[in-house]
């Protein structure tokens, strides 16, 4: 564990920018969000969370898989520069447990995702406080941990400094190169921030959601809780763990490309079969599938929740659906 001043940390990032694209939170027209950094003084370190998660840098919203011209297939161009993503909150870094399981740990391996994953250094940042919509502790996520990602940091605004720790072998090599002194007062500093997370309540409290939802698959309550949903898909696009996609050919059959785009299980066409049959014909079935995917299917097959409690679906829902109330309804 080391401690560096803000100036030293900024200089550290500038040095890394010689090798990596530095991606970090900055303030824009629509809030605080990740962007490639050119002006390091614009990086925001004391935010609660970003408008969107970092997933689009590992799983692009639109991604060309290959191009074809007159019968010749050309593989999509690979990235030239590695990435260095700074300020990832603990809720978001836990979303990789879902992505890694589905795209790397299971066959076949998604080589597009794996390449981006392998060429990115992830710096997690402990949360200084919680939003009213945060519920990460329900999934045993510690918002003040710096033990995740390649490198973990905690920004201490009072002293304008960072606690920094290498976690992976690559992260440890980078942090070991910092010419700063070790420190042992991290636990005391962490205690001072704990009061800022008192409203981040545990909704589940060690209850077995697999058993609970197994008995609720045909519960009549599904006929009520979906009624606020208009099927816009906003919740899925903002969700850091949603990974559904569609693949389409663009261009003409002799000259074009194959592209992967984000998709949403909230859309009627998502589950529609070529026969015209739709096994999820109404928004009730589609909303139930989304909830079960977060708290039943992923948990049953991967032993990981499909939700990390970031609260973005609550913040961005145009009809004010609060998924925490859905959990409470069934448990």
Specify whether 10 is located in the same domain as 138. yes
Specify whether 30 is located in the same domain as 53. yes
Domain boundary among 148, 167, 197: 197
Specify whether 65 is located in the same domain as 192. yes
Q: Is residue 72 a part of any domain in this protein?
A: yes
240's CB contacts (< 8 A; 6+ apart) are: 53, 54, 55, 91, 92, 95, 308, 310, 312
Q: Is residue 131 a part of any domain in this protein?
A: yes
User: What pLDDT sits at residue 39?
Assistant: 95
Specify whether 169 is located in the same domain as 243. no
Q: Is residue 260 a part of any domain in this protein?
A: yes
Specify whether 250 is located in the same domain as 270. yes
33-40 long-range contacts, CB within 8 A, separation 24+: 34/85, 34/87, 37/13, 40/10, 40/13, 40/14
Specify whether 246 is located in the same domain as 158. no
Taking residue 105's Cβ as centre, other Cβ atoms within 10 Å add up to 11
Low-confidence ranges of the chain (pLDDT < 70): 79-80
User: What pLDDT sits at residue 80?
Assistant: 66
Half-sphere exposure of residue 136: CA atoms within 13 angstroms, side-chain side: 25
4's CB contacts (< 8 A; 6+ apart) are: 12, 161, 162, 164, 178, 180
Structure tokens given for 199: 């409203």
Q: Is residue 256 a part of any domain in this protein?
A: yes
Q: Is residue 322 a part of any domain in this protein?
A: yes
Domain boundary among 177, 197, 217: 197
User: What pLDDT sits at residue 284?
Assistant: 94
Q: How far apart are CA 226 and CA 286, in angstroms?
A: 9
- Kindly report whether the global pTM for this prediction surpasses the value 0.85: yes
Specify whether 227 is located in the same domain as 298. yes
Count of structural domains within the chain: 2
Specify whether 191 is located in the same domain as 299. no
Specify whether 181 is located in the same domain as 292. no
User: What pLDDT sits at residue 26?
Assistant: 97
Domain boundary among 135, 164, 197: 197
Specify whether 272 is located in the same domain as 181. no
Specify whether 23 is located in the same domain as 85. yes
Q: Is residue 290 a part of any domain in this protein?
A: yes
Q: Is residue 282 a part of any domain in this protein?
A: yes
Q: Is residue 202 a part of any domain in this protein?
A: no
Specify whether 193 is located in the same domain as 215. no
User: What pLDDT sits at residue 70?
Assistant: 87
Boundaries of domain holding 88: 2-197
């Amino acid at each position: 564990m080391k401690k560096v001043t803000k100036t030293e940390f900024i200089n550290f990032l500038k040095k890394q920018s010689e090798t990596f694209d530095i991606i970090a939170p900055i303030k824009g027209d629509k809030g605080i969000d990740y962007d490639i950094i050119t002006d390091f003084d614009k990086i925001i370190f004391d935010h609660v969370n970003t408008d969107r998660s970092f997933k689009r840098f590992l799983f692009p919203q639109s991604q060309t898989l290959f191009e074809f011209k007159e019968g010749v297939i050309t593989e999509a161009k690979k990235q030239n520069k590695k990435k260095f993503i700074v300020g990832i909150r603990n809720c978001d870094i836990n979303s990789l447990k879902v992505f890694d399981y589905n795209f790397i740990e299971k066959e076949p391996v998604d080589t597009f995702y794996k390449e981006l994953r392998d060429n990115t250094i992830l710096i997690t940042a402990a949360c200084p406080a919680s939003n009213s919509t945060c519920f990460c502790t329900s999934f045993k996520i510690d918002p003040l941990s710096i033990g995740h990602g390649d490198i973990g940091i905690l920004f201490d605004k009072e002293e304008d400094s960072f606690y920094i720790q290498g976690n992976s072998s690559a992260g440890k090599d980078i942090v070991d190169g910092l010419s700063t002194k070790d420190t042992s007062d991290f636990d005391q500093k962490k205690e001072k921030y704990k009061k800022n997370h008192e409203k981040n309540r545990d909704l589940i409290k060690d209850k077995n959601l697999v058993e609970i939802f197994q008995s609720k698959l045909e519960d009549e309550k599904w006929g009520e809780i979906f009624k606020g949903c208009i099927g816009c898909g906003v919740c899925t696009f903002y969700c850091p763990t949603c990974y559904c996609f569609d693949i389409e050919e663009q261009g003409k059959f002799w000259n074009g490309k194959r592209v992967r785009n984000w998709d949403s299980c909230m859309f009627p066409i998502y589950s529609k079969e070529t026969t015209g049959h739709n096994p999820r014909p109404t928004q009730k079935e589609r909303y139930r599938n989304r909830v079960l995917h977060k708290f039943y299917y992923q948990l049953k097959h991967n032993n990981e929740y499909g939700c990390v409690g970031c609260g973005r679906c609550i913040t961005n829902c145009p009809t004010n659906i609060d998924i925490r109330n859905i959990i409470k309804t069934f448990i």
